[in-house]
Chain A
Amino acid sequence: MNQTEQKPVSLLRIVGGIGDSALYILTDLGRMGIFLFFSLLGLFKQPFRFKEFVKQLAFIGAGSLTVIFFTALSSGMVLGLQGYYSLHKFGAEGMLGSAVSLTLIMELGPVLTALMVAGRAGSAMCAEIGIMRISEQIDALECMAIDPFRYFISPKFLAALISVPLLTAVFDVVGIMGGYLAGVKLMGVNGGAFFAGMEQSVTSHDVRLGVIKSVVFAVLLVWICTGRGYFVQKIRGAGFGAESVSKVTTQAVVLSSISVLIFDYLLTAVLL
């Protein structure tokens, strides 16, 4: 008797829960979409905060150079070694330059740069905005009729849009040098063949693909990281206060990293 009475109730709860989650996801996507719109609109609002933009450029761009340098060097060297061992089996060591440069320019450069920037600068941006939100600093800006997007979010967007492709270029160059070090200097591949292979195989299309990817990844990571921080109090299960900022920061880095990986596949499939 009891069981028959409880069944519809628990079923209703499950359906209600699914409905609630669907509505939450839709609402969240909607507010993130509006957030992106206002962030891009803020780029064209006057007066543009040039000093803030330069500060963010230094933080996201120059500040990430060290981590990008070491990640690129290590990835390039590993690629050089791995590539050498694979190609050596077929006597095709001369293709090493081509393999290393294409992998770096089209795939590893944009992806690893975006992941590193998300981990270093994205997390910091999310935490900063989250703290500004919970300490009512964003409310204070709005109450002074100062547009928070123009004031501090849009400069972050522009700085990321410029920094990430440049950092990707640095990654590519350092990575190729790492591949050269490992392949040519350590394993004895012919240096001329290394660079000749690279020159012959890398086309402007490959470089363009890398640049498009880095721009898309820049938008994704700055959008997700700043947006999560901005809506820290509206995210389900985030809790309150300092705990909410820490949880949302973790979520922002995870979400932006996953988005970068998914979009990497999609862009490769569409543009290759």
Chain B
Amino acid sequence: MSVETTVSREPAIQFIEVCKSFGERSKRHLVLDRVSFSAPRGKTTVIAGGSGQGKSVILKLILGLLRPDSGEVLIGGDNISSMGYKALQSQRTLFGVLFQGSALFDSLTVFENIALPLRERTKLTAEEIRSRVAATLEQLELTGHEDKFPAQLSGGMKKRVGLARALQLEPEIVLFDEPTTGLDPVMTREIYELFVQTQKRLGYTAVIVSHDIPQIFTLADQIILLNKGELDVFTDASQIPFSTKPNIREFARLVMGQQTA
């Protein structure tokens, strides 16, 4: 029963032998070394690993914000790394993104932030946009905060607004970059519940990059661990300590030693 046999359709995201390095020519730092994995459609893939291991780089490669040095990044079978500007723009309509710092536009109100993708990317009337945003605000318990600016919101509220904005166009794939960083345990649970609710309702493919180990694994259909250039894929957190890769076992021992013992 491999992962492939349980997924009948083509994976939503596929990395094939992807390499990515940063820095000037004389001091290049290899972050991803021939990384290969796939994220099944409609499922949740959690990417975890230490700081600086390339987790956020993977998200940027998926979005086409970075191009790989070599290898291929396929989104629904299309190679995003060789796409031109126009094709890339149309490919991005598939995505919703919740950024680490929420990336809300600080000169726009909560309402304007959530309405932005609808205003810019659809032909809905002002009234239709208003009612759709109002419904979203109610679902995410943000009613009454629509006229506030991001600087006036708490961390948890910013995340909720960010999620509302990311889901406005009902994307096929939603990427979460450290969705609970800086939040207290109550807020963290709230964000997880919100994630489960929205994924159930919209059925999107989720890719979550997180440090919140092992709690984040409860949401995962597939877990990808990165450490010191090695990558391993698991369908269950209980498999992690038995990885064949020494750096992954070391990471598991360091981070989740208590839980896996």
Contact = CB atoms under 8 A, between A and B. Distances in A.
Interface of A: 16, 20, 23-24, 132, 135-137, 139-140, 142-147, 151, 236
Contacts of B24: 20, 24, 236
Given A136-B100, A143-B92, A20 B25 contact: yes
Given A145-B92, A145-B93, A147-B89, A139 B103 contact: yes
A135 B92 contact: no
Contacts of B97: 139-140, 143
Given A139-B65, A144-B116, A144-B121, A23 B103 contact: no
Nearest to B65: A139
**A-B pairs with lowest CB-CB distance, top 9:** A136-B103, A140-B103, A145-B92, A143-B97, A136-B99, A145-B89, A146-B120, A144-B117, A145-B93
Interface residues of B, number: 25
B101 A135 contact: yes
A144 B65 contact: no
Which among A16, A140, A236 has the greatest number of chain B C-beta atoms within 10 A? A140
B106 interface: yes
B65 A137 contact: no
B95 interface: yes
Which among B25, B93, B103, B169 has the greatest number of chain A C-beta atoms within 10 A? B103
A20 B26 contact: yes
A10 B213 CA distance: 47
Given A20-B26, A137-B106, A145 B99 contact: no
Interface string B80-113: 0000000001101101110111011110000000
Interface in B115-138: 116-117, 120-121
B151 to A, nearest CB: 11
A142 B103 contact: no
B106 A23 contact: no
Given A135-B103, A143-B63, A144-B121, 16 more contacts: A16-B26, A20-B25, A135-B106, A137-B104, A137-B105, A139-B60, A139-B97, A140-B99, A140-B103, A143-B65, A143-B95, A143-B96, A144-B169, A145-B90, A146-B116, A146-B121
Contacts of A135: 101, 103, 106
Contacts of A151: 120
Interface string B40-79: 0000000000000000000010010100000000000000
B171 to A, nearest CB: 10
B102 to A, nearest CB: 9
Nearest to B24: A20
Contacts of A16: 26
Contacts of B121: 144-146
A151 B117 CA distance: 12
Nearest to B120: A146
A145 B95 CA distance: 9
25 contacts: A20-B24, A20-B25, A20-B26, A135-B101, A135-B103, A136-B99, A136-B100, A136-B101, A137-B103, A137-B104, A137-B106, A139-B65, A139-B97, A139-B99, A140-B97, A140-B99, A140-B105, A143-B95, A144-B92, A145-B89, A145-B90, A145-B92, A146-B120, A146-B121, A147-B89
Nearest to A17: B26
B105 to A, nearest CB: 6
A120 to B, nearest CB: 19
Nearest to B92: A145
Contacts of B65: 139, 142-143
A143 B96 CA distance: 7
A139 B162 CA distance: 13
Nearest to A143: B97
Contacts of A20: 24-26
Contact of B25 (A23, A132, A147): A23
Contacts of B106: 135, 137
Contacts of B60: 139
